[in-house]
Structure 1
């Protein structure tokens, strides 16, 4: 493999001159530059990224941790992050922690050893040591979707509680009075906040789930299998609900399958609302009503905020809360026998 010394010999210049041509660190005459570039082409010389990073103290590389690479929600955000990084001249190194704290800490160590310039993190659900680990990295960090107790980190996320409120208010507006909720893993902040939005909307309507909550609140693993199993359990209860708010779209897709197998027709016999608005949600049967997170804006903001810190254009941490929207499709319908209040009908 050709070295920088081989290029210098072929071009008849010093190693320092070759370095200035490769790194564009000093003016080199057009004639000399042409000789050096021709030698590089002839020898097939590839500059060492490691050596260049040691000199410049930057690698033009960003790391990203996500908890579940099979979840389309994270995949859609990663797509935006990668495109944004590439456009800014940065390479993205992606690590899937599989929601395991130990794997998360190992990947943080690996990324640190690779001298990345900054980090975008969607944390695992249960890792009290993460804040300490991130402070030890001494690099800019942007948290996405899940906040941790570290005031030095930037954060961009959706208003999860408001999203749960939107979903449940929609079901209440359709005349549903027994509305179940399938939450994500216990202890995961976004899930807890979405569940809290569900509780608030029920309380607003005088439908507090305090009585009989054991048959109304269920948990899954933010996976299709988790939603599938929870929906089957709900269908076996003594008094099944007429509507279900499911705290992510993957679980909602599993719930739709379970409802079909249990003989519950969606939306005639059961209304279902998801959360995230992944691309697949509009292709389910029926198409899924869901709370849409602004994934493109989340990914773009995460990169922009990180580059601001890397480039030294901003030093103070920044927290951005984005608002979700309800996308109504075919998986929700009016409850049987429900009629709109007269005032609302006359207003229409």
Structure 2
């Protein structure tokens, strides 16, 4: 492996000059810089990242924690974040906590030992987790919270207006004539799930579809943001005596599980039951039928998280910033008018023309 000294010999300059070119620590004439860069490429020299980090007190490395790498929503966000990091000259270290608070704690310690310059966190556990707040303060690096807010005023935050998304989903179903609308929520205490459920409740209350919270909770099932949990919840919903005509699942994976359960039960979507998801993962456009969903602006979420973090890393901003983006409803084939609406919309039959009409038939 080529060394700094090898590059200096190849370029016919001093080791100090090569160091200045590599680390951009002093002006070097264009002619000398070109010789050094040619030598670096010819020898395949790779600068020692550890040595450079010790000199600059930075590592050009960012960390990211996500709860579940098998969830396509997080996978799509990670791809956007990684692309943005790469374009800015940063390496991303990704850790999957598997929704385990203890694992999250261990990974935060690992990232601290790697001397990352900044951190993006999609938290695991409830929003009021004091242990996570204490550990983030101990890291002493700029931190951006993504998707899930926690009680830490020192962190930046970028997320979607989850309650507004729940409102969009439920109002869409109400506009189609559905009155009995079930909800498959996520884990108890996880902020995005609770906020989406709150939006669903509020929309039903606005429309007078449920007279009080107790009646709304009778239509609430819980899942774990996985396809399996949506599948199991939907089977339970379909077994109820007073079956709802529509279901709002608080993420697309649970909605996809619900679609399969309906298919297995011989319940046609959307003619017999309508289903709405949340996230707009790429797969949602390819289900059968294609899934109506609340779209999160993933490109903007990922790009903003990196940009906000680099502002803090570069010292351009010190005060915490909070950005809440608006979701959009993406209507596809998994929702349709309630049967009563469809019947009301059927036009009266047209009378057959009289056989005694005076109009003559045209014979070709």
TM-score where L is the length of structure 1: 0.92
**Alpha-carbon separation, structure 2, partners of 1:65 and 1:4:** 35
Counterpart for residue 258 of structure 2: 255
Question: Is the CA contact (8 Å cut-off) linking 2:142 and 2:312 kept in structure 1?
Answer: yes
**Alpha-carbon separation, structure 2, partners of 1:40 and 1:287:** 52
Counterpart for residue 129 of structure 1: 131
Question: Is the CA contact (8 Å cut-off) linking 1:171 and 1:243 kept in structure 2?
Answer: yes
**Alpha-carbon separation, structure 2, partners of 1:124 and 1:214:** 25
Question: Is the CA contact (8 Å cut-off) linking 1:225 and 1:254 kept in structure 2?
Answer: yes
Larger radius of gyration: 2
TM-score where L is the length of structure 2: 0.88
The equivalences for 1:207-226 within 5 A come to: 207-208=209-210, 210-213=213-216, 215-226=218-229
1:156 Cα offset (Å):
0.6
Of the three residues 147, 162, 166, the one matched with 1:164 is 166
Counterpart for residue 115 of structure 2: 115
Counterpart for residue 143 of structure 2: 141
Matched, 1:299 2:302: yes
Counterpart for residue 357 of structure 2: none
Where do 5+ consecutive residues of structure 1 fail to align? Answer: 343-348
Counterpart for residue 200 of structure 1: 202
**Alpha-carbon separation, structure 2, partners of 1:271 and 1:286:** 10
Matched, 1:104 2:104: yes
**Alpha-carbon separation, structure 2, partners of 1:210 and 1:322:** 28
**Alpha-carbon separation, structure 1, partners of 2:147 and 2:33:** 48
Matched, 1:234 2:252: no
Question: Is the CA contact (8 Å cut-off) linking 1:158 and 1:293 kept in structure 2?
Answer: yes
Matched, 1:283 2:286: yes
The equivalences for 1:1-348 within 5 A come to: 1-8=1-8, 13-29=13-29, 32-33=32-33, 36-37=36-37, 40-41=40-41, 43-126=43-126, 127-208=129-210, 210-213=213-216, 215-338=218-341
1:4 Cα offset (Å):
2.6
How many residues align structurally?
A: 342
What is the Cα-based RMSD across aligned positions, in Å? 2.1
